[in-house]
Amino acid sequence: EPEVTQTPSHQVTQMGQEVILRCVPISNHLYFYWYRQILGQKVEFLVSFYNNEISEKSEIFDDQFSVERPDGSNFTLKIRSTKLEDSAMYFCASRKTSGNAYDEQFFGPGTRLTVL
Amino acid sequence: AQTVTQSQPEMSVQEAETVTLSCTYDTSESDYYLFWYKQPPSRQMILVIRQEAYKQQNATENRFSVNFQKAAKSFSLKISDSQLGDAAMYFCAYLTGTASKLTFGTGTRLQVTL
């Protein structure tokens, strides 16, 4: 069964460093998402991406964040200068489109980012 | 802004028994969708069940069913014949037809005991 994959599973970085989190969405999906979950808190929407551009972003998704689909398969989240408060689990999700936002979003296993 | 509230941080159920997890939401939209996601210790989010707001009939998926009360903006999840594998964090989520982002509640941790 097709699934969303994410690498790495755990990333440790120093404050101020740049990190890139990678996701491979399901191959026939066209909408892509990043969510994050700070330990013990709820899952929060960061950004949605469609047709090679951002569809929507939250207030969390400031200038330090960027997303890219560099080739036909990967979808990346870059944090330019990490802060301690960026420590969280980052989930990638994708969905196919039938013109209905109700279609299921399939989630990856997450990348745990630890900023020291 | 849409909000989703789960008032039960933790619940416990005995194996084979039934448990109900509560969820309420606030929205001014008329067209929206509701979901329950399960997050086991592996942390991957798995869709359990979904409900379209325009449908009056409550959704059912095997042992999982919902009680959708649109006027009360309530969307509870009932798990029948609970199994050890049901132990997880359960998140209620909301999605409007005009946007595709999911808004999650704070979650309910479900323990299943022997």
Within 10 Å of residue B21's Cβ, how many Cβ atoms?
Answer: 23
A28–chain B nearest CA distance, Å: 18
pLDDT: which is higher, A100 or A93: A93
- CB contact at 8 A, B3 and B59: no
**Share above pLDDT 90 across residues of chain A, in percent, rounded to a whole number:** 74
pLDDT at A99: 64
C-alpha A2/C-alpha B109 separation (Å) is 28
A74–chain B nearest CA distance, Å: 19
Nearest to A43 among B91, B96, B100 (CB): B91
Cα B23 → chain centroid: 7
- CB contact at 8 A, A43 and B104: yes
Cα A52 → chain centroid: 15
Mean of the per-residue pLDDT values of chain A: 92
Average pLDDT over residues A71-89: 95
Q: Would the CB atoms of B97 and A101 count as touching at under 8 Å?
A: yes
pLDDT at B41: 83
C-alpha B24/C-alpha B57 separation (Å) is 18
Identify all chain B residues contacting A35, using CB atoms and an 8 Å cutoff: 102
In tens, the pLDDT along B3-14 reads: 999 999 999 999
Nearby residues of B6 by Cβ (< 8 Å), 6 or more positions away: B21, B22, B23, B91, B92, B105, B106, B107, B108
Residue A4 confidence (pLDDT) above 90: yes
Q: Would the CB atoms of A35 and B47 count as touching at under 8 Å?
A: no
- CB contact at 8 A, A26 and A3: yes
Tell me, yes or no, if B45 comes closer than 8 A to chain A by beta carbon: yes
Residue B28 confidence (pLDDT) above 90: no
Q: Would the CB atoms of B50 and A104 count as touching at under 8 Å?
A: yes
Tell me, yes or no, if A42 comes closer than 8 A to chain B by beta carbon: yes
C-alpha A107/C-alpha B66 separation (Å) is 22
Answer whether the bond into residue A8 is a cis peptide, omega within 30°: yes
Tokens of A66: 């960027």
Residue A18 confidence (pLDDT) above 80: yes
In tens, the pLDDT along B72-105 reads: 999 999 999 999 999 999 999 998 766 678 999 9
Nearest to A48 among B98, B101, B104 (CB): B101
Q: Which of B44, B55, B94, B109 to mutate to test the interface with A (most CBs of A within 10 A)?
A: B44
In tens, the pLDDT along B38-64 reads: 998 877 889 999 999 888 899 999 999
